[in-house]
Amino acid sequence: MNNQATQQQLIQADLHAQGSIEPQHEVDKRVDFLCNQMLETGQHALVLGD
């Protein structure tokens, strides 16, 4: 294994990053998080951006 691949593996391990992802699962996870945050804080609107 070359030095760059080894370094990438170390960084990935340090960040607890996954080697691959399922995009739809990641979208669903983030939507669930935002919905739960809004419910827990009693918010009725979400502003995206500045």
CA distance 6 to 12: 10
Place of tokens 């918010």: 43
Residue pLDDT, tens place only, 1-50 = 688 889 999 999 999 998 889 999 999 999 999 999 999 999 999 898 87
Residue ranges making up the domain that contains 41: 21-50
pTM, 2 dp: 0.62
- 48 found inside a domain: yes
Question: Does some domain include residue 5?
Answer: no
Number of domains composing the chain: 1
Would residue 4 count as lying in a domain? Answer: no
Identify whether 26 is part of a domain.
yes
SS3 content of the chain, % helix, strand, coil (to 5): 60, 0, 40
In a domain, 13, yes or no: no
In a domain, 8, yes or no: no
In a domain, residue 9? The reply is no
Answer yes or no: is 37 within a domain: yes
C-alpha span between 38 and 46 (Å, rounded): 8
